[in-house]
Structure 1
Amino acid sequence: MTNPAASAGSARSQENRRQLIAEHVVEHGTVTVSWLAEVTGVSVMTVHRDLDALAGRGVLRRFRGGVSALPTSVFESNLDYRLGVHVPEKEAVALAAAELVEPGMSVMLDDSTSVLALARLLPAKAPLTVLTNARRVLEVFAGCEEIRLIALGGEYSLTHDSFLGVPCVEAIESMSVDLVLVSTSAMNARMTFHQEQDVVLVKRAMLGSGARTALLMDHSKVARTALHRLCPVADFDHVVVDDGAGPELLAELREHTDVRVAPAARAKE
């Protein structure tokens, strides 16, 4: 007969090991299977089973002999990885984008890490009405008395820690707001992109619900493409980027929309 306590302990041990593996991959970006087996003290076959489970959750991406949390044109990185990269740039972009928000406005925020950085600045802009599909953005405003908070529900995505799908799109399409602020995973001088069609559909619905729209991008996402086209750069009223973006790209962007360049050093002061 199976011992329930032993089974529960084994499951906890497995989940702890998988969490450790995920943390190592997020920290290093790309690692080998053999290295993970060494640091976790289990067999290569056990690591392969753990990686299959983590890849199924969208936490990481497998390739022959290794695993990665880095984005590609068809794979968006897990939220935990994105939260730890280009932080000063995202904070600078958020600081510049906050200037677009005025007390009394209704604003819609997506589930990107750049917009999460912005959300942390917005209680100072209260009173506001905030609409979002991002769980962590909801946590920022929960308990803020002068913030009217509206959650845009749908199917929960572990990769993005947010709500997506048809119910979310329908909730968004029933709303009309003063300002929509989003980010995405890639852009060039003319077009914006994302790897996942469910995310594209939600972002498009958001952009269609705003009287004004703003795109927040750190320079690591520019001069890149991804599988799905989101919308032309010209569809945004404002694009906010950090000063790591090249002057030629900035000049091209300014042919299509208002561009605001955020000095990254401001976020470090």
Structure 2
Amino acid sequence: MSEQNLSRRRECRLDELTALLVAEGTATAQDLAERFDVSLMTMHRDLDELERRGLVRKFRGGVTTLPSGVFESNVLYRQKAMTAQKQAMARRARELVEPGMSVMLDDSTSVLELARTLGGITPLRVVTNYLEGLKVLSGTPGIALTALGGDYDPNHDSFLGVGCVEAIGALRVDAVFVSTSAASGGLAYHQEQHIVSVKRAMLDAAARRYLLLDHSKLGRVALHRVVPLEVFDLVIVDDGLSEEHAAELREHRVPFEVAGS
């Protein structure tokens, strides 16, 4: 088999491997080698390549797409997680958007669900760095789009870096909607510093600030603090919120509301 054919075959296997891990979350290298009918050494090389691309996190004997305190799940995994909860939060967030407003949306999959609901609230100016968000809203009658520039990051499917932060700093919007990967002790957290910089800039550029936070992110921390939760005008959570976490939000004076299913 030619080198070109071998390369194509490997890329197809990597695509199938990624899809499987996004669906299942965690697997062992031995199990994956058997399922793909390759040697364990070949599977480890494939997993090393997926880790290099930022798609998975390896641990002793296995691999996962699930987040940790220092690893943010790839956008492919996040788009499939907690979908019903994100849609419920998006419906509540939509009620905060009125015709004539300018709104900024971050590159989270929670806020992407809000973007999908914005048709019909017009005229509206939407500003975002999320490529999928731009695709969702492009061509929607009555919605004017502003794309935030910067360096494209395939792991987040968005534009980030200094260029993005500077573009945000030149704007002032009526409201911003963001999400984050973890929240605990009255603080929002994220694993990646370049994401934190963009989220902070977005919050500084908005008159009103809203956070969409599904219950799986509560009681967790990550490497970097983003902001105190009390800076938000409203934190929207889904109805999976536990009494323990609700009490913690109240203790830290966090304005929050539960979005029903």
Identify whether the pair has TM-score above 0.5, normalized to the shorter chain: yes
Aligned residues: 260
Cα distance, 1:10 vs. partner?
A: 1.9
What root-mean-square deviation, in Å, do the aligned CA atoms of Structure 1 and Structure 2 show?
1.3
- Which residue number corresponds to residue 261 of structure 1? 258
Cα distance, 1:40 vs. partner?
A: 1.1
Map 1:186-265 to 2 at 5 A.
186-254=182-250, 256-264=253-261
- Which residue number corresponds to residue 267 of structure 1? none
Gaps of 5+ in 2: none
Residue pair 1:110, 1:132 contacting (<8 A) in 2 also: yes
Residue pair 1:107, 1:131 contacting (<8 A) in 2 also: yes
| TM-score between both structures, scaled by the size of structure 1 | 0.93
- 1:252, 1:64 → 2: CA distance? 35
Can you list the C-alpha shifts for 1:35-85, whole angstroms capped at 9, x where unaligned? 111111111111111111110110000111110001111111111111111
- Which residue number corresponds to residue 36 of structure 1? 32
- 1:157, 1:95 → 2: CA distance? 28
- 1:217, 1:124 → 2: CA distance? 25
Can you list the C-alpha shifts for 1:87-116, whole angstroms capped at 9, x where unaligned? 111111111111111111000000101000
Q: Percent of aligned pairs with the same residue?
A: 53
- 2:121, 2:209 → 1: CA distance? 18
- 2:33, 2:243 → 1: CA distance? 45
- 1:33, 1:25 → 2: CA distance? 11
Matched position secondary structure for 1:67: strand
Cα distance, 1:164 vs. partner?
A: 0.7
Single out whichever of 246-255 and 199-208 deviates more from structure 2. 246-255
Matched position secondary structure for 1:45: helix
Cα distance, 1:189 vs. partner?
A: 4.4
Structure 2 letter corresponding to 1:53: E
- Which residue number corresponds to residue 88 of structure 2? 92
- 1:73, 1:201 → 2: CA distance? 17
- 1:189, 1:63 → 2: CA distance? 28
- 2:58, 2:244 → 1: CA distance? 35
Can you list the C-alpha shifts for 1:178-218, whole angstroms capped at 9, x where unaligned? 00000000002410000000100000000000000000011
Matched position secondary structure for 2:120: helix
- Which residue number corresponds to residue 173 of structure 2? 177
Cα distance, 1:224 vs. partner?
A: 1.1
Question: Is 2:132 aligned against 1:136?
Answer: yes
Which stretches of structure 1, 4 residues or more, deviate above 4 A after TM superposition? none
Gaps of 5+ in 1: 265-269
Map 1:9-28 to 2 at 5 A.
9-28=5-24
Matched position secondary structure for 1:125: coil
Residue pair 2:119, 2:141 contacting (<8 A) in 1 also: no
| TM-score between both structures, scaled by the size of structure 2 | 0.96
